[in-house]
Chain A
Amino acid sequence: MFNDVILRKNEYYDSVFLMSINNKIMKEPGIIQSAVLMGSTANKEVLKDLGFSNDLIDNATANDLIVAIAGDSPEAINSIKENLTAWLSNVKSNQADIEIKSLKQAIEKNPSANMVSISIPGEFAANEARMSLTKGLNVFLFSDNVSIQDELSLKQLAQQENLLVMGPDCGSSIIIGIGLGFSNAVRQGSIGLIAAAGTGLQEFTCMVHNAGYGISHAIGTGGRDLSDDIGGLTTLAALDILEKDEKTKVIVVLSKPPGKITLHKLSERMKTITKPIIGCFIGAIGIIEGEGTIFRRATIINEAVHFAIDEIGGDFSESKTPDVVLQNIEIHFSKNQKYLRGVFAGGTFCYQAQQILTNAGFRIFSNAPLKKEDKLAHPDSSQSHTFVDMGDDFYMIGRPHPMINGSQRALRIIKEAKDPQVAIILLDFILGFNASMDPVGELVEAILEAKHIATAEGRQIEFIASICGTDGDPQEIDLQIKLLKDCGVTIFNSNAAAVLHTIQLLKELNHG
């Protein structure tokens, strides 16, 4: 194997663009491994873990581009070197056109700006967010790797200035019908949402839209907001905003279970709100303070959607668009096939699916488990029934999120299909702004290969999928559903519906 490292001084690119360059390199003949990263301290550690280390890397700064390549011949590496400038030049010319180099200059350019969207590396994000707040801007903070201390101080500053900090690690928000980050094209309406998780926000808003209703605003808070470390500062600020908003007729709070102190604080605040409130705390066990009196409790997202539509006097029907496609085929599992494997792009889908299956009496192992004792020894090694959150940091080192690129999920699907004990593979597909333009297309080959592997060994694997999207999304939902249908996948319009169908099959398996 031949290794080489290319350093380009003072050339900064965003991470999504660099991942697209990495994908290009990986598709070239003779390339075994590559990493295309800025030379930040964290990235240098990643390169070291991947086996790349030399003086060039050691001396690189966060402003320098590093391209590390391993190939089977010097020619394979040289070919990359020859093409690299051309591949990079596309974005370089675009960047050169942007004269604004700082937040300060951007505000000078348009003093009416009222929001900043921050998706830069986490180590620099808190400073920019802080500066934004002092300039009176609301913050959509997509960046992760922001410390909990920084999160708290940013949210305290926002509280003082009466501004909103959505995040850190906020995947999605919808403000006045405008989708920020990963979000879907949903109609405006009277249901307001406050959500800790990006894919949870997407599932809820898509289901409301697909049932024929609309969203006033869906405010993302970041996953740690309702922890006792943060005390729900963004959730409380969002409650204030939605309470005053005339369009919002019902408010839904969607999150993992809040911290004990924060839940009490939240309950106290909910008591004074004049609008109906629905609390959906996925994974919460037992009675929650205030349920039934202060707020109506939903256990899963579908139920929260149902209750919200009910509160505005509507009628919820899950079977509206997109249509559910049940494949009318007889399934022939062999006697050794007994396990379910979930390979998820969305963290909330992995989590909610575990909750529903656990409640139905199944034990699910995961890299993101409900209970510590169900944690996989290694994310790559499935055991019994396993759900993998492919958006876990473990899979994201130097690689795109599975919502942007399905290549890691494709590999895992094939790996699961090789296990003779696997009967069912459960998937999720997420459409919308900033997601992959062809999430199903990226996995079709892997699904067909997985089926082929099983058939060649006299087995059959049943694929079940949920699709999170709307008819307004850029990916064309009908086309995505058709692709799934054509390769024999049973499709549902929500994660929960797909899981309930899976449970039915598992029960048949156990009795068979």
Chain B
Amino acid sequence: MDKKENQIINQPLIVINLGLEDFAKNLEIQDVEVIRVNWKPPAGGDKQMIDLLDQLL
């Protein structure tokens, strides 16, 4: 079966940033389009609850 080729090096990077704000800033300095996520631990950081939610979704 043919797999679709990874196009990562064939198109401009558009990056979703989850985490350090400096990483987003330094990508923008390099003229990269960045979508920032105001990330917080889901389910109040309760790992068991996160696993449960993942199973449900």
Which residues of chain A have a CB within 8 Å of any CB of chain B? 12, 14-17, 38-40, 61-63, 91, 94-95, 98-103, 105-107, 109-110, 112-121, 123-124, 127-128, 132, 137-138, 140, 142-143, 162-164, 175-181, 216-217, 237, 240-241, 244-245, 433-434, 474
Q: How far is the CA of A366 from the CA of B8 in the complex (A)?
A: 39
Q: How far is the CB of B30 from chain A (nearest CB, A)?
A: 5
Q: How far is the CB of A131 from chain B (nearest CB, A)?
A: 8
B27 touches A14 (CB 8 A): no
Q: Which residues of B contact A119 (CB under 8 A)?
A: 18-20, 23
B21 touches A61 (CB 8 A): no
A164 touches B19 (CB 8 A): no
6 CB < 8 A contacts A-B: A110-B33, A113-B16, A114-B13, A115-B8, A217-B9, A434-B26
Q: Which residues of B contact A107 (CB under 8 A)?
A: 16
Q: Which residues of B contact A124 (CB under 8 A)?
A: 41-42, 45, 50
Q: How far is the CB of B43 from chain A (nearest CB, A)?
A: 9
Highest count of chain A CB atoms <10 Å: which of B18, B33, B36: B18
Q: How far is the CB of A92 from chain B (nearest CB, A)?
A: 11
Question: 9 extra interchain contacts, Cβ-Cβ under 8 A, other than A114-B13, A163-B6, A474-B29?
Answer: A12-B39, A100-B35, A103-B18, A103-B37, A106-B35, A109-B35, A119-B20, A176-B12, A177-B30
B35 touches A120 (CB 8 A): no
Q: How far is the CB of A288 from chain B (nearest CB, A)?
A: 28
Number of A-B contacts (CB under 8 A): 154
Q: How far is the CA of A419 from the CA of B6 in the complex (A)?
A: 54
Q: How far is the CA of A14 from the CA of B41 in the complex (A)?
A: 11
> In the complex, what residue of chain B is closest to A137 when comparing beta carbons?
B16
B44 touches A433 (CB 8 A): no
> In the complex, what residue of chain A is closest to B40 when comparing beta carbons?
A12
Q: What is the interface residue range for chain B against chain A?
A: 35 or more
Q: Which residues of B contact A127 (CB under 8 A)?
A: 50, 54
B40 touches A61 (CB 8 A): no
A115 touches B38 (CB 8 A): no
Q: How far is the CA of A445 from the CA of B9 in the complex (A)?
A: 44
Contact partner of A40 (CB less than 8 A), chosen from B6, B12, B26, B41, is B41
Contact partner of A112 (CB less than 8 A), chosen from B14, B27, B38, B46, is B14
Q: How far is the CA of A17 from the CA of B39 in the complex (A)?
A: 14
Q: How far is the CA of A78 from the CA of B40 in the complex (A)?
A: 29
Q: How far is the CA of A263 from the CA of B38 in the complex (A)?
A: 41
Q: Which residues of A contact B3 (CB under 8 A)?
A: 162
Q: How far is the CB of A5 from chain B (nearest CB, A)?
A: 18
Q: How far is the CB of A402 from chain B (nearest CB, A)?
A: 16
Contact partner of A16 (CB less than 8 A), chosen from B15, B21, B37, B50, is B21
Q: Which residues of B contact A62 (CB under 8 A)?
A: 41, 44-45
Q: Which residues of A contact B40 (CB under 8 A)?
A: 12, 63, 101
Q: Which residues of A contact B9 (CB under 8 A)?
A: 175-176, 216-217, 241, 245
B18 touches A128 (CB 8 A): yes
Q: Which residues of B contact A103 (CB under 8 A)?
A: 16, 18, 37
Q: How far is the CB of A143 from chain B (nearest CB, A)?
A: 7
Q: Which residues of A contact B18 (CB under 8 A)?
A: 103, 116-120, 128
Known: A63-B44, A102-B37. A117 touches B21 (CB 8 A): no
- Which 5 pairs of residues, A with B, have the shortest CB-CB distance? A62-B45, A119-B19, A98-B38, A62-B41, A433-B26
